C-alpha cells in the first residue's frame, strides 16, 4: 500500500500543475502585436542599482550619450 501512495501523489501533483499551466494566459495574448521587447526584474531597485554601476549604465548616463537618449525617448513619446 505504501508503495502506491508516492506515485499516486506525484501523479496528482503533475496533473494539477498541468491544469494550472493550461489556465495561465500567454504573453502573446496580453501584449500588443507591435511589442518588441519585454523585460522583467524580480527586484527592480536592485536591478537598477547594478545597471547604474555597470559599464553600460555609466555609458547610458554619460554626457556623450545624452543626445541619443533624448532622441530615443522623444521617439517613444511620439508613438
Sketch the domain layout of the chain as residue ranges. 2-78
Structure pTM? 0.49
What pLDDT is attached to residue 58? 94
Q: Please tell me which residue, 16 or 41, carries the higher pLDDT value.
A: 41
What pLDDT is attached to residue 27? 72
Mean pLDDT of 7-22: 66
pLDDT tens-digit series, residues 32-62: 888 888 888 889 999 999 999 999 999 999 9
What pLDDT is attached to residue 16? 66
What pLDDT is attached to residue 65? 92
Q: Buried b vs exposed e over 6-45: b needs ≥16 C-beta within 10 Å?
A: eeeeeeeeeeeeeeeeeeeeeeeeeeeeeeeeeeeeeeee
Amino acid at each position: 500500500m505504501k508503495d502506491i501512495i508516492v506515485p499516486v501523489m506525484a501523479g496528482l501533483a503533475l496533473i494539477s500543475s498541468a491544469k494550472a499551466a493550461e489556465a495561465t494566459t500567454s504573453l502573446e495574448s496580453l501584449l500588443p502585436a507591435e511589442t518588441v521587447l519585454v523585460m522583467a526584474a524580480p527586484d527592480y531597485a536592485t536591478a537598477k542599482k547594478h545597471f547604474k554601476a555597470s559599464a553600460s549604465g555609466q555609458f547610458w548616463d554619460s554626457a556623450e550619450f545624452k543626445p541619443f537618449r533624448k532622441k530615443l525617448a522623444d521617439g517613444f513619446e511620439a508613438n
